[in-house]
Amino acid sequence: MKTAFITGITGQDGAYLAKLLLSKGYEVHGGVRRISHPETTRLDLLGITRDIHLHEFDLGEPNNIFRTIRDLKPDEFYNLAAQSFVGSSWDLPAYTADVDGMAVVRILDTLRTVSPETRFYQASTSEMFGLVQEVPQRETTRLYPRSPYGVAKVYGHYITMNYRESFGMHASSGILFNHESPLRGKEFVTRKITLGLAAIARGGNAAVELGNMDSKRDWGFAGDYVDGMWRMLQQDEPDDYVLATGVTTTIRDFFTYAAEALDMNLDWVGEGEQETAIDRKSGRLVMKVNPKFYRPAEVELLIGDATKARNALGWEAQTSVRDLAAMMAKADFDAQAA
């Protein structure tokens, strides 16, 4: 039986990855932060909390990382934990640098010292492309991060490459484009949209307030993407791979897809800060722009080229953005029935 350790197991990807690894017969361990009230909602929703081994674990604490790895020496180590919200990274820039950047070298150096045979996965991100230097973005595209989050992740990405090249470690980075699900954090735009629209469909009257409606993202389903992470660690040689759908969509179009799944038909009125969306049937205002959600620097366009992953890993995104929006909107609508 293989063993795996997942940092960030209580997050969206951690929960899906844990479920996938359990289905493959792994013994799954994961790190949870000490907080005043244990939070395993996502693991509970997938029905796997009792099947995994949870360890107190914080990326900020070097000795804690050291002891965990020394005691477990897992076959595979997936580093998914992060301060993952771009918007907060301007308020928490030093913390984000530590958790999303420095912690990666703490883990790698511990692995190198006490468990060099462990295979390592680093959760890199399309946010590293930022002000994109090439369309679509692939593994070789020059990085130009646009947020403290993106900058911290660039460090994590390069230090992973460096430990692979310096010490021959089986260390791989997945450059994942945005991936969402009903378990997505509520502050991300997709989930904010589906939660808000579900509340309106249930009779609520608070319009969803959003920022930049024109930015474009390459959105896939998290359940598909964790399979790509696992495939990376099954390769004989470590490497870096983009996982993406190759389709890019505006925030406005994602909103429209989610609304359609809840039987709304929208009229879009106005532009910029004046833009609104109105449901034709009920005449209700369902979206208005609030400039407080604009970012100090924006990533306007992301679209990935996952050819390398398709050829080397046999991986392909399975879920269209329309189906993803519908899946999330319906899940939030159903959850609000109670």
So which residues are the catalytic ones?
Answer: 125, 127, 149
Kindly provide the residue ranges of all beta strands, DSSP E only, lying in the chain, ordered along the sequence: 3-7, 27-32, 53-56, 76-79, 119-125, 171-176, 179-180, 208-210, 216-217, 220-221, 240-243, 249-250, 266-269, 276-279, 285-289
Cβ distance to ligand NDP smaller for residue 10 or 118: 10
Size of the site for ligand NDP (CB under 6 A): 27
Q: Among all chains, which residue has been given the structure tokens 């076959």?
A: 75
Beta bridge partners of 301: 216
Segment near ligand GDP (CB under 6 A); pick from 48-56, 116-124, 268-276, 290-298:
290-298
Using the Cα atoms of residue 261, residue 300, residue 86 and residue 126 in order, give the sign of their dihedral: positive
> Smallest gap, in angstroms, from Cβ of residue 276 to ligand GDP?
14
> Smallest gap, in angstroms, from Cβ of residue 236 to ligand GDP?
32
DSSP category for residue 178: P
DSSP category for residue 310: H
Segment near ligand NDP (CB under 6 A); pick from 65-73, 133-141, 178-186, 295-303:
178-186
Return the one option of ligand NDP, ligand GDP, none that residue 187 interacts with (CB less than 5 to 8 A, by type): ligand GDP
What is the rounded distance in angstroms from the CA atom of residue 121 to the CA atom of residue 278?
Answer: 44
* 148 CB-near residues (< 8 Å, 6+ apart): 89, 90, 92, 93, 96, 97
Residue 300 contacts residue 216 (beta carbons within 8 Å): yes
Q: Does 137 bind ligand GDP (CB under 6 A)?
A: no
Q: Does 188 bind ligand GDP (CB under 6 A)?
A: yes
Segment near ligand GDP (CB under 6 A); pick from 26-34, 58-66, 137-145, 184-192:
184-192
Cβ distance to ligand NDP smaller for residue 278 or 313: 313
Segment near ligand GDP (CB under 6 A); pick from 90-98, 150-158, 168-176, 209-217:
209-217
Buried residues in 298-332 as b, exposed as e (16+ CB within 10 A):
bbebbbbbbebbbeebebebebbbbebbbbbbbbb
> Smallest gap, in angstroms, from Cβ of residue 42 to ligand NDP?
8
Strand, helix or coil for residue 155:
helix
Cβ distance to ligand GDP smaller for residue 295 or 310: 295
**206-to-165, 210, 251, 334 alpha-carbon distances in Å:** 53, 12, 19, 19
What is the rounded distance in angstroms from the CA atom of residue 7 to the CA atom of residue 82?
Answer: 9
Beta-carbon-side half-sphere exposure of residue 26 (alpha carbons within 13 Å): 23
What is the rounded distance in angstroms from the CA atom of residue 9 to the CA atom of residue 30?
Answer: 5
Among 64, 115, 162, 212, the residue binding ligand GDP under the rule CB under 6 A is: 212
Cβ distance to ligand NDP smaller for residue 178 or 245: 178
Give, as ranges, the residues between 17 and 56 that touch ligand NDP (CB under 6 A): 31, 33, 35, 39
Q: Which DSSP helix (H) or strand (E) runs through 154?
A: helix 148-167
Return the one option of ligand GDP, ligand NDP, none that residue 233 interacts with (CB less than 5 to 8 A, by type): none
Q: Does 189 bind ligand GDP (CB under 6 A)?
A: yes
Segment near ligand GDP (CB under 6 A); pick from 2-10, 166-174, 183-191, 320-328:
183-191
- Kindly list the residues in this chain that would bind ligand GDP in the complex (CB under 6 A): 86-87, 127, 178, 187-190, 192, 210-212, 215, 217, 251, 293, 295, 298-299
Positions that interact with ligand NDP (CB under 6 A): 7-8, 10-14, 31, 33, 35, 39, 57-60, 80-84, 99, 123, 125, 176, 178-179, 185
